[in-house]
């Protein structure tokens, strides 16, 4: 059924006007700084209770966990629970019960939800999502702003814009034949497995498939529960119906076994470690006869980012770029510079300036001091990993 003409025109107009979300500066005296400081104050010492959400119902299991603030370990920012096998099976059934109706809903209606969610994040929910990303994931104000606000808003708006445009991409027809492409969701559920380091990735891994007519099981990272649940609630507030996205924190191996063991698995949308994605891929390959369709796997596993400095480069620009890339958010992202190639002619100057700027890096609590440049790594496991990487780098430099 085609949507009313007036609504269709509104969507075309909205899509045509989509622009990148402006990045706010949070200067002293600015309204956004005041709003964020209030949101941060409201969260101090608070533990938010976050259930699994299955079939539109909030469910608590006996496997209760806590998310700790990475720079204030005594602060339990969230109390949540793991979904076990029984609850994950319920989530799959609930998702499948809603799949057909959601897939048949006009894309204009689905896009409307994501446009509204972006508006909520841009306006009344911005301070909340930033504060929860800062306290829960240890991000500085600027790192939270470019992630949990600007990038996530852009994901929702541009995804919706392109989903609307895609409907008009049709194969060529020549007399006497007419060729038509129908865009529809997959005939099963999508498993969205999201990481801790970008709130935006969580919203996008679960949101993009839902926008395109799919039902989703969203397993957020244990160390990003607080912010990811806030994104989930924003989608609900924007009109996302129950059962379209099931919010199911879970033990990784249990979740992997359940989704790959279901005949209804249609795809995995994943960001995380290479060993985990390889394991999921192997599990699926060993069970191909079980599935109703061939599951689609989309995985982003980071990598080694490098900077290549040309002899004509501006030294200050190269140094500032390298420092920011390598040390912002403690290097916990795929865009973090871990290699720098410089010509012999520039290296003495670059090295001197790198050491000078490195010495100015301010490490601390990003909530109490907005001038903090680098905060704590996400957890003890990450801390051990960083120490080992530092030893390897020092040994290599000595060689």
Q: How many residues in total does the chain contain?
A: 399
Q: What is the DSSP string of 21-67?
A: PPPP---TT-HHHHHHHHHHHHHTT--EEE-EEETTEEE--S-EEEE
> Pairing between strand 72-81 and 305-308?
unpaired
Can you tell me the distance from the alpha carbon of 129 to that of 149, in angstroms, rounded to the nearest whole number?
7
Report d(CA 219, CA 230) in Å as an integer: 14
CA atoms within 13 A on the CB side of 17: 7
* Among the listed residues 23, 44, 25, 41, the one whose alpha carbon sits nearest the alpha carbon of residue 33: 25
User: What gap in Å lies between CA 286 and CA 99, rounded to an integer?
Assistant: 26
Q: Tokens in use for 393?
A: 């780098």
- Tell me how far apart the alpha carbons of residues 96 and 98 are, in angstroms, rounded to a whole number: 5
| Helix, strand, coil percentages, rounded to 5, for the chain | 50, 15, 35
Give the C-alpha distances (Å, rounded to integers) separating 323 from 306, 310, 336, 394, 396: 12, 17, 9, 17, 20
Neighbours of 375 (CB within 10 A): 26
User: H or E stretch including 190?
Assistant: strand 189-193
Q: Which two tokens stand for residue 86?
A: 């029984």
d(CA 255, CA 249): 9
Residues designated as active site: 300, 334
């Amino acid at each position: 059924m085609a949507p009313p003409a007036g609504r269709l025109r509104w969507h075309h107009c909205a899509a045509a006007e989509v622009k990148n979300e402006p990045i706010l500066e949070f200067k002293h005296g600015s309204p956004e700084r005041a709003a964020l400081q209030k949101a941060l104050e409201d969260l101090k010492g608070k533990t938010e209770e976050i259930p699994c959400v299955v079939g539109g119902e909030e469910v608590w299991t006996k496997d209760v966990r806590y998310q700790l603030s990475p720079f204030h370990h005594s602060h339990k920012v969230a109390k949540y629970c793991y979904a076990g096998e029984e609850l994950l099976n319920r989530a799959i059934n609930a998702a499948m019960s809603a799949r057909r109706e959601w897939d048949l809903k006009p894309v204009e209606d689905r896009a409307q939800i994501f446009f509204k969610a972006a508006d909520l994040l841009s306006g009344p929910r911005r301070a909340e999502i930033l504060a929860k990303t800062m306290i829960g994931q240890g991000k500085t104000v600027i790192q939270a702003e470019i992630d949990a606000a600007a990038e996530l808003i852009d994901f929702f708006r541009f995804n919706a814009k392109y989903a609307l445009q895609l409907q008009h991409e049709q194969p060529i027809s020549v007399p006497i034949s007419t060729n038509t492409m129908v865009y529809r969701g997959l005939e099963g559920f999508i498993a969205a497995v999201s990481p801790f380091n970008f709130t935006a990735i969580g919203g996008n891994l679960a949101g993009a498939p839902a926008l395109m007519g799919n039902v989703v099981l969203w397993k957020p990272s244990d160390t990003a529960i607080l912010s990811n649940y806030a994104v989930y609630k924003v989608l609900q507030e924007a009109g996302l119906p129950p059962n379209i996205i099931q919010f199911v924190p879970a033990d990784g191996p249990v979740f992997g076994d359940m989704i790959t063991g279901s005949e209804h698995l249609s795809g995995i949308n994943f960001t995380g470690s290479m060993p985990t994605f390889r394991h999921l891929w192997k599990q699926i390959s060993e069970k191909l006869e079980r599935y109703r369709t061939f599951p689609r796997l989309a995985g982003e596993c980071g990598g080694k980012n490098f900077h290549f400095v040309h002899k004509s480069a501006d030294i200050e620009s190269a140094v500032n770029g390298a420092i920011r890339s390598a040390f912002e958010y403690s290097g916990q992202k795929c865009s973090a510079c871990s290699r720098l190639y410089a010509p012999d002619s520039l290296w003495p100057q670059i090295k001197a300036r790198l050491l000078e700027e490195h010495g100015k890096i301010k490490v601390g609590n990003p909530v109490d001091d907005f001038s903090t440049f680098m905060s704590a790594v996400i957890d003890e496991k990450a801390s051990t990993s960083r120490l080992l990487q530092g030893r390897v780098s020092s040994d290599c430099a000595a060689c």
